[in-house]
Amino acid sequence: MQLTELPDPTPGTDELLVEGIAVGVCGTDKEIVRADYGWAPPGRDRLVLGHESLGRVRSAPGGSGFSAGDLVVGVVRRPDPVPCGACARGEFDSCRNGRYTERGIKELDGYGAELWCVETDYAVKLDPRLADAGVLMEPTSVVAKAWEQVRRVGERAWYEPKRALVTGAGPIGLLGAMIGVQQGLDVHVLDRVTDGPKPRLVEQLGATYHHEDADEVAGKLEPDVVIEATGAGGLVFSAIRNTASFGVVCLTGVSPSGRKIPVDAGSVNREIVLENDVVVGSVNANLRHYRQAADALAAADPDWLRGLITRRVPLESYQDAFEARSDDVKVVIGLDGSR
């Protein structure tokens, strides 16, 4: 990982030129830095990092609906070139052939730069009040999609969920809990820590925080919905085993392979079948989910959102953002010199 001077980008005719405000750091960025994930653009051996963006438009093509000063976020994924049936319909988050590209992750430079360009079709305008917290847009789009998946799966029969359990109180878990609360659900969040910002953020949302054993918590709650945001095998199976009848478990956490845990596969299968349960995986987000996320953020308490960003690191100290501290929730790198 390196901080490098690059030539200023020149926007194409359908592109915005954007001054970066901040870029969020997540587990995927850390995997890329460890060379466990990520792809440089073809023919190059380096990639500009950053997929959780926030910036201010410097220039926009006339008639594009954007103008200088707008607060914007760039969409992460682009459709595959074939395109597959899903990408052809704007559902590039469900690309079937794996040839999609992703800014800052897969073959396209990211948004971790003082100046970046983005196609107007892949830029999303944010409420001007979100200048401090709009960098949470991309992770919010991921959970907006997860909740949409849950609803669509649920609606295959009568569906009025009451109780949701979110496993993991990182940014994805907390933003997932926020959307659950906005939907009027009784939301419970499970994490390991007993103090620090996470329990407080959960309580401020009006949700209930738990830190006890997963089977015990989930077994008592019997949630209608689980948003799993850790990728930890034990939690995943605990969630699957403990839902109410017709339960939907949405998996959003990416886990390393190679960790083994004993599972009573027969009883897991039996319960899923006899209760019409569903386990659904969810990754990335399309433009519809970004719009849902923009609405969710606009409806949220701006102070609560700011509280999720527990560390703002100036660009010169970018390496600090990649070192985990015990009370981190979301760490962001400031790109505009203001923080």
Summarize as ranges the residues that interact with ligand BGC (CB under 6 A).
26, 28, 51, 76-77, 102, 105, 138, 142, 283-284
CA separation for the pair 44, 221 (Å, rounded): 50
Shortest Cβ 268–ligand BGC spacing (Å): 26
Nearer to ligand BGC, 77 or 210 (CB): 77
CB 166 within 8 A of CB 173: yes
DSSP string, 65-108: S--TT-EEEE-SEE--SS--HHHHTT-GGG-SSS--EEETTBEE
Strand bridging mode 186-190 / 248-251: unpaired
Shortest Cβ 33–ligand BGC spacing (Å): 13
CA separation for the pair 140, 146 (Å, rounded): 10
Nearer to ligand BGC, 32 or 300 (CB): 32
Nearer to ligand BGC, 27 or 233 (CB): 27
CA separation for the pair 278, 275 (Å, rounded): 9
Shortest Cβ 52–ligand BGC spacing (Å): 7
Exposure of 5 by Cβ count < 10 A (0-12 exposed, 13-18 middle, 19+ buried)? exposed
Shortest Cβ 325–ligand BGC spacing (Å): 20
Q: At what angle do helices 137-154 and 171-182 cross, to 10 degrees?
A: 50
CA separation for the pair 26, 52 (Å, rounded): 8
Nearer to ligand BGC, 51 or 330 (CB): 51
Nearer to ligand BGC, 40 or 244 (CB): 40
Exposure of 39 by Cβ count < 10 A (0-12 exposed, 13-18 middle, 19+ buried)? middle
Nearer to ligand BGC, 28 or 242 (CB): 28
Listed residue (43, 54, 248) closest to 134, CA to CA: 54
Nearer to ligand BGC, 99 or 163 (CB): 99
Nearer to ligand BGC, 76 or 86 (CB): 76
Q: Which amino acid is at 12?
A: G
Shortest Cβ 329–ligand BGC spacing (Å): 16
CB 224 within 8 A of CB 164: yes
Nearer to ligand BGC, 53 or 238 (CB): 53
Listed residue (192, 275, 208) closest to 241, CA to CA: 275
CB 239 within 8 A of CB 219: no
Shortest Cβ 284–ligand BGC spacing (Å): 3
CA separation for the pair 253, 255 (Å, rounded): 6
Shortest Cβ 100–ligand BGC spacing (Å): 8
Shortest Cβ 194–ligand BGC spacing (Å): 27
Q: Which amino acid is at 186?
A: D
Shortest Cβ 77–ligand BGC spacing (Å): 6
CB 164 within 8 A of CB 223: yes
Q: Give the three-state DSSP class for 21.
A: strand
